[in-house]
Amino acid sequence: MTDAAASYNLLFKIELGENKNMNNAISRRQAFGLGAGVIVGLALPLRPTAALAKNDAEEAIKSFAGGKTPEKAKVKLELPEIAENGNTVPVTVSIESPMTKDSYVKDVLIIADGNPRAGVITFHFSPSAVPEANTRIRLAETQNVVAVAKMNDGSVYMASKEVKVTIGGCGG
């Protein structure tokens, strides 16, 4: 939360600073155009802060991981850098695992931390599946997508990726 506030403040100062410096050197008409640009510019830094606004993402990960802290390893999450249409964003998750009876991936939870609700989907694997799955999801806005994998021995691993969303995909 403090990080979010700090980064927002920093961006805010940068925007204001630019505005002041440039106003000295340009005509009124240009300044007006610039003013509009600054308003847009101010709106943009709000997006990453909004993405940090908490839904139930942390709780969802905690309850899925069973109290363990997921290690950032073994999980690969593929998503577009920029999703033009948040209504259908392709996501592929793959996990390093031998997939034998003794050692396999059991469940993989996908979380979106900027959606109205964090949970997106939980995949269930068995030793006769390949630890990889692809689907299409809805993202309301620019945010982080997190994949948490739980192995049959209870160990948990994760990966996350930020996706910039041009048009949000939550109905309306």
Nearer to other proteins by C-beta: 34 or 164? 164
Q: Does 130 bind other proteins (CB under 8 A)?
A: yes
Residue among 75, 83, 137, 163 that touches other proteins (CB under 8 A): 137
Closest CA relative to residue 5, chosen from 55, 49, 50: 49
Quote the tokens at residue 127: 């030793």
CA distance 8 to 14: 10
Cβ neighbours for 50, distance < 8 A, ≥ 6 positions apart: 114, 141, 142
Closest CB to other proteins among residues 58, 71: 58
Per-residue binding string, other proteins, 105-124, x by CB under 8 A, is -------x--xxx-xxxxxx
Both tokens assigned to 26:
């340009």
The residues, any chain, with a CB within 8 Å of residue 72's CB and separated by 6 or more, are 157, 158, 159
The interface region with other proteins, picked from 12-20, 34-42, 128-136, 155-163 by CB under 8 A, is 128-136
- Give the one residue of 19, 135, 144, 155 binding other proteins; rule: CB under 8 A: 135
What's the closest the beta carbon of residue 33 comes to other proteins, in angstroms?
37
Residue 100 binds other proteins (CB under 8 A): no
Q: Which residue lies nearer to other proteins by CB, 7 or 122?
A: 122
Instruction: Say how many CA atoms lie within 13 Å of 90 toward its Cβ.
Output: 5
149 φ/ψ angles, rounded to the nearest 5 degrees: -110, 135
CB of 92 to other proteins, least distance (A): 8
Cβ proximity of 151 and 105 under 8 Å: yes
Instruction: Check residue 67 for interaction with other proteins (CB under 8 A).
Output: no
Q: Which residues form the interface with other proteins (CB under 8 A)? A: 87-89, 99, 112, 115-117, 119-126, 128-130, 132-139, 169-172
